[in-house]
Amino acid sequence: MAELTQLPVLFLHDQVALPGMTMPIELDDQARAAVEAAGSDKKLLVAPRFGERYPTHGAIATIEQIGRLPSGEPAAVLRAETRAKIGHGVTGPGAALWVEVEEVEAIEPTAKAQELATEYKRLLTAVLERRNAWQIIDHVGSIEDPSQLADLAGWASYLSAEKRADLLEQPDPEKRLEWLVQWTGDYLAEQEVSDKIAGDVREGMEKSQREFLLRQQLEAIRKELGESEPDGSQDYRSRVEEAELPEAVREAALREVGKLERASDQSPEGGWIRTWLDTVLEMPWSTRTEDASDVSAARAVLDADHHGLDDVKDRIVEYLAVRARRAERGLEIVGGRGSGAVLALAGPPGVGKTSLGESVARSLNRKFVRVALGGVRDEAEIRGHRRTYVGALPGRIVRAIKEAGSMNPVVLLDEIDKVGSDFRGDPAAALLEVLDPAQNHTFRDHYLELDLDLSDVVFIATANSIETIPPALLDRMELVSIDGYTEDDKVAIATDHLLPRQLERAALTDDDVTIAPEAIRELAGNYTREAGVRQLERLLGKVARKVATKLASSDETSTPIEVTTDNLTDFLGRPRFTPESPERTAVPGVATGLAVTGMGGDVLFIEATSTPNIEEQSGHGTRLTLTGQLGDVMKESAQIALSYLRSHGAANGIDAAALGSSIHLHVPAGAVPKDGPSAGVTMVTALASLASGHAVRSDVGMTGEVTLNGRVLPIGGVKQKLLAAQRAGLKTVFIPKRNEPDLDDVPSDVLAELDVRPVSDVAEILADALESAKSTSETTVTAA
């Protein structure tokens, strides 16, 4: 019987130390206590522990070295030497747990153990060869002792800790080697199965690649035979190679075709690539229409479609003339900076901005496409979405080019002033590159990710108000203002365009109805009050429907039915608008101004009145009340007008003290917001009329900004304001002296009807606009 020895014990959790193993142990509290208790002979017992169960066997180990791990933690290196059986616990020095141990005597290996050792060496070598552990193979080959060879299994990662504990408890090397041969053989069998599965998978992949190549060859054979593909799939590579694409586009498309050929059928990327390739192949990369070279014929087309609008027609004719000269001299540029145009048509509704785009395309012999921008708030609507998004599409510009089927169409950007912006970006900012002639030859859509040449496209943008267009965007376009039509223009447009169209819609001919020119003039003058002709066309349509109803309701109705000024009320009722300036300005304190709104020019009445109140005795000064939903600039104009009269009224024969201590200034149509400085002279005139008691002449209108010294500063929208004055029946209009050059844009028939007087000082207006005292009293008596 072996001698009993008392040793401190160190439990290893989920680890097993077999004789011959050398292993580092991190020194926690328990390990440190066991190492310190080992004493001078540096012997301790190392035993595995699984859960709450205490082991029956361990290994007597020697402490080889105490130091630190690379991480800095304290550690000790232990070398297991012999097996030992654990007895009862005993007491010993230090904080370590002490036990009695009995060293297990080694059993001499038998001949069978030698045979098992040889077999185990073969199996272990096969395992190590899989891991390319050649140095360990050499070490295994040098071991002759079967017991030492079996104890090498302590390093076998493919054995569980429980199996290694069984090896520790078994002293017979023959038995241990039987187990190891069985376990290692099972492990090798599992590895062979795994290798076979991996080989099958690899072979399957190679088979798929081989099938792909064969399928490509089959498609080529079918193509040569002229047979259609049975599954309806498309050969994108051949389509790309046959398409007339620019070189850069072709290279990008072929790269995507390569990705598609390598992608599996289940990959979502295949769908994205197919959609992208379809979009690229549908783009008209090499298709261009040839511009009309006859400038006179193009002008005739524009004149036939639209009345007036000479500025736009001149610009298009200029564009054609330059293109023709460049073609004659061989200066045409393809694929670079072209000679496209970017026009902005600004004006009130109904003047023909949108329909003008189609006429321009027809005169240029180009394709036409319309892009509605009203309410667009997403920047991706212009530049497109990244194609990795679900449902990604190219932007509206690319879609417009694809829809037109040409790389040089006329693109109408409708309602560009109504583009919004929010957290999804600013579409107006995305249009900066599109509408810049110096940049749009390399426009890049987020979806296509290809340079698109837009330099030969004619862009026409429409807007009702240029104030809402960002300045940077407006600067990239040629602004052409369309200020509205005169009454004669409206009659001509209605006779040549609107009436024939409405008669056709109502299935009427000239044999069914005749509308006298005087009746059309009555419609334009007293039934509508607009800058354009949209409402006029609606009324003509209403007349046509009334006539059609009358013809259908009675067989005895004589034809043609004549519509004149006498029976116009039978079809449309009484006129909606009548001149009101004489009535509104019949009393002192009312003046007629001129303004520009989103609907065009309009007259603006300013009323002033004064009332004495208690503040007059309290010395608080004059109180000015402003109503009519006025903006800050217009409120400041009222303050300036009052200050001017108080300081300069005497020089103009006006007693400013007669205004009283409480003045109320009102601009009717209070539901409509109003702002701007151009009503300054009108406010001065209204207050001067109130102070002097002289009414303002009913046929007088005025516009202009006023300063504290009475200077009249220039304003905008002169043409629209003069057109509104003519519609309202005014005869004399005062405008700023510095706006006199703007009269060149006003139609001659309007200037013939109006007495336009440029002034530089508001005193000139006061001298001519106020009635004399006698005429005012007569007007008051008449009104009474």
Cα separation of the two ends of the chain? 147
Determine the Cα–Cα distance for residues 223 and 243; give it in Å rounded to an integer: 17
pLDDT at 431 over 90: no
Query: Is 581-783 the same fold as 295-481?
Result: no
The per-residue pLDDT for range 616-657, each reduced to its tens digit, is 444 455 688 899 888 899 999 999 999 998 888 888 888 877
Q: What is the DSSP pairing of strand 342-346 with strand 478-481?
A: parallel
* Eight-class DSSP state of 104: P
The model's confidence at residue 522, banded by pLDDT at 50, 70 and 90, is confident
**Mean pLDDT, the chain, as a whole number?**
84
8 is in an annotated binding site: no
The per-residue pLDDT for range 2-22, each reduced to its tens digit, is 678 889 999 888 789 999 899
Question: In 3-state terms, what secondary structure has residue 478?
Answer: strand
The mean per-residue pLDDT over the stretch 231-245 comes to: 73
The model's confidence at residue 266, banded by pLDDT at 50, 70 and 90, is low
Least confident of 123-127, 335-339, 613-617, 711-715: 613-617
Q: Is 721 a catalytic residue?
A: yes
CATH says 487-572 is which class? mainly alpha
Determine the Cα–Cα distance for residues 26 and 74; give it in Å rounded to an integer: 6
Question: Which residue out of 581, 610, 678, 698 is catalytically annotated?
Answer: 678
352 is in an annotated binding site: yes
Asked if CATH classification 3.30.230.10 holds for the domain at 581-783, the reply, yes or no, is yes
The mean per-residue pLDDT over the stretch 488-507 comes to: 89
User: What is the architecture of the domain spanning 295-481?
Assistant: 3-Layer(aba) Sandwich (3.40)
783 by Cβ neighbours in 10 Å (0-12 / 13-18 / 19+) ranks as exposed
Q: Quick check: 625 and 662 in contact, CB under 8 A?
A: yes
313 is in an annotated binding site: no
pLDDT at 784 over 60: no
The per-residue pLDDT for range 164-174, each reduced to its tens digit, is 888 888 999 99
The model's confidence at residue 381, banded by pLDDT at 50, 70 and 90, is confident
Six token digits for residue 233: 């799939």
Alpha-carbon distance values, 209 to 201, 206, 261 (Å): 12, 5, 10
The per-residue pLDDT for range 526-575, each reduced to its tens digit, is 888 787 888 989 999 999 998 888 888 876 567 788 888 888 888 888 88
The residue ranges of every structural domain in the chain are 4-103, 236-282, 295-481, 487-572, 581-783
Output 79 or 599, whichever has higher pLDDT: 79
Question: In 3-state terms, what secondary structure has residue 77?
Answer: strand
The model's confidence at residue 736, banded by pLDDT at 50, 70 and 90, is very high
Give the pLDDT of residue 222: 66
Least confident of 317-331, 401-415, 491-505, 639-653: 317-331
Give the pLDDT of residue 775: 45
87 is in an annotated binding site: no
CATH superfamily of 4-103: LON domain-like (2.30.130.40)
528 is in an annotated binding site: no
Least confident of 75-79, 80-84, 259-263, 691-695: 259-263
Q: Quick check: 449 and 409 in contact, CB under 8 A?
A: no
Give the pLDDT of residue 230: 39
> Phi, psi (5° rounding) for residue 340?
-65, 170
354 is in an annotated binding site: yes
Q: Which helix (H) or strand (E) holds 443?
A: strand 443-444
350 is in an annotated binding site: yes
353 is in an annotated binding site: yes
